Amino acid sequence: MTKWVYSFGNGKAEGQADMRNLLGGKGANLAEMSNIGLPVPPGFTVTTEVCTFYYQNEKQYPGDLNDQMDAALATVEGIVGAKFGDPANPLLVSVRSGARVSMPGMMDTVLNLGLNDETAAGLAAKSGDPRFAYDSYRRFIQMYSNVVLDVDHHLFEEQLEIKKEETGAVLDTELSAQDLQDLIVEYKRLVRDELDHDFPQDPREQLWGAVGAVFSSWMTHRAVVYRKLNKIPEEWGTAVNVQAMVFGNMGDDCATGVAFTRDPSTGENLFYGEYLVNAQGEDVVAGIRTPQHLTIAGKDAQGSKLPAMEEVMPEVFKQLDDVRLTLEKHYHDMQDIEFTVQQGTLYMLQTRNGKRTTQAAIKIACDMVDEGLINEEEAVTRIEPQALDQILHPRLDPDAERKVIGKGLPASPGAASGIVTFTADEAEARALNGDRVMLVRIETSPEDIHGMHAAQGILTTRGGMTSHAAVVARGMGRPCVSGAGDLNVDYKGKTFSVAGITVKEGDWITIDGGSGQIMLGEVPTVQPELSGDFARIMDWADKARRLKVRANAETPDDARTARNFGAEGIGLCRTEHMFFEGDRITAVREMILAEDEAGRRAALEKILPMQRADFVELFNIMKGLPVTVRLLDPPLHEFLPREPNEFEAIAKDLGVSVEKLRYRAAQLHEMNPMLGHRGCRLLNTYPEICEMQARAIFEAAILVREESGDAPHCEVMVPLVGIQKELELMRAVIDRVADEVAAEKGIKPDYTVGTMIELPRAALRAGTIAEEAAFFSFGTNDLTQTTFGLSRDDAAGFLGSYEKRGILKNDPFATLDKEGVGELIEIAAERGRKTRPGIKLGICGEHGGDPSSIDFCEEVGLDYVSCSPFRVPIARLAAAQAAIRRKG
């Protein structure tokens, strides 16, 4: 018999923390908290396997689920001493979704389930507080109708507002028990009008309705989009947590709150959270009442006048602070918790590893090493490599002028500028158009995820540090300023105003998510400091990794950035980029137009000193580290003008007729240049180009060695080889030039010759190609293109629909296709090593900076990855994690 339901509560549980696949994150942690003796209201978790079953069986449940749920419910009834549906002594429950990882866009919560006309009266009598009972009932109808029955919650809000107007109440809490009972009648009528049936009175029907709604929410558009953005597999499914209600809204000795065990923005070891007296969970995040700080320090830091929990309920606060320490000692990580205080008693409703900024993640990991909670390798695994992006990117230039127009909460750090947009759709549309946009909203909801993703930054006028905007932006690494209450947003007029200034849609603004400042215009930024805790983490990562990390760089600036970020050499210097620089393009064009070899050589003579100077600079920056220089790769027509109006000016520069230039351009035109006369094919037809480049490399190497004493190690790389002979002939040219230079200068350059593996044939024939190659560098951009037969320049147009339809899980140009392209890499590595044991193997396609592709490189045992300079730290960390994973 399959166990579909796991109980928890009363100091024990059937589940535990490591069962998150089956119980979801929330369920596993509720079980774990019960197990370690924390005060958790009893309940049970319906497993993710039920969700899978549900979708595999036309939305039917397993036959024995009902009995298992009944039994679990009976256990809860026993612990609480109340009965589900009993009018005299009703048990009420909450129903929440809970996937393996927390997922906005999923059904959130239904509270007070089990209330109906009878049990509400029973609750009123039993609690002696009819106001509380009817307030709970009306909240339940509103929430359940919205979440489960799909009735728009605005309709209920309208009724509530009407009732407040009628009675002269300003706050919800000013409505009397009778007002609320009247409101409930209105609510029920509203449901009947909308749905043609009554609000369900049977608690069991309510429960099954809520369970079904949780499972259905797994497939909502929002959830699907979120999963796709975060690469969460659909097969995981969600669990459902049913838990006895505790009430934070039974009076002034009650409260509810959310907290982080450390500051999620800075990582400081300070208890950080918000609470509300006499409130239910959703009130804290809904932005209707302003949440208060937990601690006096937190309150003072924000200059808040509202009393802290530490002052209002010192004893319960002390308990909560102890729970904080217990959880951190137990989980060895920063926790994000939810709690409720019912008449002076503390209950824990949730714990999970808290989302944090990268800056905070780094500080917390380092502090926890110092506190003895985790070791250095564990610290390395705590940082999401991709998330380093957040801190590797620029911050506001401290010296730049800022026209600050407002301030909100520093919800997610980093500076961003963009043009103002007011809806997620508009943000997305403009971003697709190439604009940098800022999403400005009163508050955000899971429906806005796509716009938040498209935006450079997010600005909201409502909601605290734990609001949707703040949490999601931190997770996405977008700068965010939230709760900027002075801003007046007019969605209709597409403007916001603050301090007498009106900002329109399309105007530029800048936000600083580290300080909360909002500025007019685009404020310049500066590069971040990469010392302190960041350097410690990177140090530990370097100790743990096996793969070397190099950078793809050709300009001195890129090379310097790469070194700064810890690159251990250059894995790809695309020399064609040097051909476009300054005046040399003219000489390159002369070469292309030359009638014969002598003409080409004359032009190449002009290019030689420029190329040599480029390499001198690069070798100097790289100080003896290996530099892989790739010989000319693209087809020649790329260097000729494209636009008709360019021909005249260029012909004049070159001293040739426009006709001649046009004729040559037409001659070089190819239907399919990616598969055309490029790479080693070009070098083999014009070996003098290879000769010039080899000479430039070797002469530069010798110059640098003479001047600085650092002997550069050059790896001369021949692109687009598919046939052994192609490489053999080029290698002969390179070796000959090396000998000539050695004879002329009296020093032999230190070099090797190798090839890129960019064609399936090259991968398959790697065994023979390795006879000529000291190294292989997998050019996975072209290898992906040629393996799939998919143009790397045109595929983006339809890859999106392929991903949507599930034909491809990822864009194969961003994440290595391990099955296809990966198999070719494995074959090439194996055959290459067989011919030449110890052949150096690396990767230099875009995938070299992608963490999951790097993991594959570790698996295959490549020697290094090479990626763009800004991704070097990401690659160092990902390489370390890949190595640690394999140890574990």
Closest CA to 256 of 274, 230, 237, 235: 274
Quick check: 872 and 365 in contact, CB under 8 A? no
Q: Where do the DSSP E strands lie in 369-507?
A: 395-396, 403-407, 409-412, 415-421, 437-441, 457-460, 480-482, 488-490, 495-498, 501-504
Beta partners for residue 109, in sequence order = 96
- Evaluate whether 267 touches 293 at the Cβ level (below 8 Å): no
Q: Which is nearer to ligand PEP, 35 or 868 (CB)?
A: 868
Residue 809 CB, nearest approach to Mg ion (Å): 24
At closest approach, how far in Å is the CB of 400 from ligand PEP? 35
Min dist CB 771 to ligand PEP, Å, is 23
Structure tokens at 178: 């009778």
Size of the site for ligand PEP (CB under 6 A): 10
- The distance of closest approach from Cβ of residue 679 to ligand PEP in the complex, given in angstroms and rounded to an integer, is 9
Q: Are 393 and 382 in contact (CB under 8 A)?
A: no
Q: Which of 482, 420, 481, 406 is nearest to 451 (CA)?
A: 420
Q: Spell out, one character per residue from 817 to 856, where the chain touches ligand PEP: x when CB under 6 A holds, - when not.
A: ---------------------------xx-----------
- For residues 535-594, which are near ligand PEP according to CB under 6 A? 572, 574
Nearer to Mg ion, 22 or 632 (CB): 632
The least distance separating ligand PEP from the CB of residue 777, rounded to whole angstroms, comes to 8
Helices and strands (H, E) in the chain, number of each type:
36, 34
Choose the stretch contacting ligand PEP; rule: CB under 6 A; options: 508-516, 647-655, 710-718, 774-782: 774-782
Q: Which residues of 859-880 are buried (b: 16+ CB within 10 A; e: fewer)?
A: ebebbbbbbbbbbbbbbbbbbb
- Nearest distance from residue 422's CB to Mg ion, in Å? 42
Interacting residue with ligand PEP among 758, 772, 850, 858 (CB under 6 A): 758
Q: Beta strand pairing status for 457-460 and 480-482? A: parallel
Measure the N-to-C terminal CA separation of the chain; round to a whole number of Å: 33
- Name which of residues 339 to 398 contact ligand PEP (CB under 6 A): none
Scanning residues 323 to 342, which ones bind Mg ion (CB under 5 A)? none
Among 258, 296, 260, 256, residue whose Cα is nearest residue 278: 256
Phi, psi of 374 (to 5 degrees): -140, 165
**Least CB distance from residue 782 to ligand PEP, whole Å?**
3
Contact between 779 and Mg ion per CB under 5 A: yes
User: Counting contacts by CB under 6 A, is residue 418 touching ligand PEP?
Assistant: no
* Strands lying side by side in the sheet with 480-482: 403-407, 517-520, 508-512, 415-421, 437-441, 457-460, 480-482, 409-412
- We find the least distance from the C-beta atom of residue 762 to ligand PEP, in angstroms, to be 11
User: Could you give the 3-state DSSP secondary structure of residue 740?
Assistant: helix
- Quote the CA–CA distance of 443 and 747 in Å, as a whole number: 68
The interface with ligand PEP within residues 782-801 (CB under 6 A) comprises 782
CB-CB contact of 519 with 510 (8 Å): yes
Nearer to ligand PEP, 120 or 816 (CB): 816
Q: Which is nearer to Mg ion, 668 or 674 (CB)?
A: 674
Binding segment for ligand PEP (CB under 6 A), chosen from 27-35, 104-112, 704-712, 780-788, is 780-788
Q: Which is nearer to Mg ion, 124 or 844 (CB)?
A: 844
- Produce one character per residue of 695-719: b if its CB has 16 or more CB atoms within 10 Å, e if not: bbbbbbbbbbbeeeeebbbbbbbbb
What φ, ψ does residue 100 adopt, rounded to 5°? -60, -40
Question: Binding segment for Mg ion among 185-193, 574-582, 772-780, 825-833 (CB under 5 A)?
Answer: 772-780
Alpha-carbon distance of 390 to 479, in angstroms, equals: 9
> Which is the catalytic residue, given 844, 847, 857, 867?
844
Smallest gap from Cβ 780 to Mg ion, in A, equals: 9
Looking at the Cβ atoms of 548 and 574, the one nearer to ligand PEP is 574
| Cβ distance to ligand PEP smaller for residue 346 or 562 | 562
Tell me which of 203, 257, 406, 779 binds ligand PEP, using CB under 6 A: 779
Q: What is the 3-state secondary structure (H, E, C) of 584-622?
A: HHHHHHHHHHCCCHHHHHHHHHHHHHHHHHHHHHHHHHH
Taking CB positions, which residue lies at the least distance from Mg ion? 782
603 is a contact residue toward ligand PEP (CB under 6 A): no
Active site residue 844: yes
- Alpha carbon distance 351, 588 (integer Å): 63
Question: Which is nearer to Mg ion, 107 or 632 (by Cβ)?
Answer: 632
Instruction: Give residues 693-732 in contact with Mg ion (rule: CB under 5 A).
Output: none
Residue 479 vs 779, nearer CB to ligand PEP: 779
Residue that the structure tokens 């780094």 belong to: 362
Does the protein bind ligand PEP through residue 780 (CB under 6 A)? yes
Catalytic pick from 450, 453, 468, 637? 468
Q: Residue 103 or residue 572: which is nearer to ligand PEP going by CB?
A: 572
Closer of 724 and 866 to ligand PEP (Cβ): 866
Least distance between Mg ion and beta carbon 237 (Å): 41
Closest CA to 753 of 772, 778, 729, 779: 772
Closer of 136 and 628 to ligand PEP (Cβ) = 628
Could you tell me the smallest distance in angstroms from the CB atom of residue 824 to ligand PEP? 13
What part of residues 631-650 is at the interface with ligand PEP (CB under 6 A)? 633
Residues with Cβ within 8 Å of residue 511, at least 6 apart in sequence: 415, 416, 417, 438, 457, 459, 479, 480, 481, 517, 518, 519
Q: State the binding partner of 572 from ligand PEP, Mg ion, none, CB within 5 to 8 A by kind.
A: ligand PEP
Query: Among positive and negative, which fits the CA dihedral 662, 667, 673, 678?
Result: negative
Indicate the pairing of strand 255-260 with strand 109-113: unpaired
What, of ligand PEP, Mg ion, none, does residue 845 touch, CB below 5 to 8 Å by kind?
A: ligand PEP
Q: Among all chains, which residue has been given the structure tokens 């140090």?
A: 539
Of the candidate residues 16, 386, 620, 781, the single one contacting ligand PEP (CB under 6 A): 781
Q: Among 127-135, 466-474, 665-673, 779-787, which window interacts with ligand PEP (CB under 6 A)? A: 779-787
Residue 635 near Mg ion by CB under 5 A: no
Choose the contact partner of 780 out of ligand PEP, Mg ion, none; CB within 5 to 8 A by kind.
ligand PEP
227 interface partner picked from Mg ion, ligand PEP, none, CB below 5 to 8 A per type: none
Told to check if 846 binds Mg ion by CB under 5 A, we report no
> Site for Mg ion (CB under 5 A): how many residues?
3
Write out the DSSP string of 269-308. Answer: SS-EEEEEES--HHHHHHSSS--EESSHHHHHHTT--SPP
Measured from the CB of residue 781, what is the shortest distance to ligand PEP in angstroms? 3
Query: With CB cut-offs between 5 and 8 Å by kind, which of Mg ion, ligand PEP, none does residue 406 bind?
Result: none
Q: Both tokens of residue 572?
A: 């790809």
Token pair, residue 366, equals 């380092």
Should residue 782 be labelled a site residue for Mg ion when binding is judged by CB under 5 A? yes
Binding interface with ligand PEP (CB under 6 A): 572, 574, 633, 758, 779-782, 844-845
Binding interface with Mg ion (CB under 5 A): 758, 779, 782
Positions marked catalytic: 468, 844
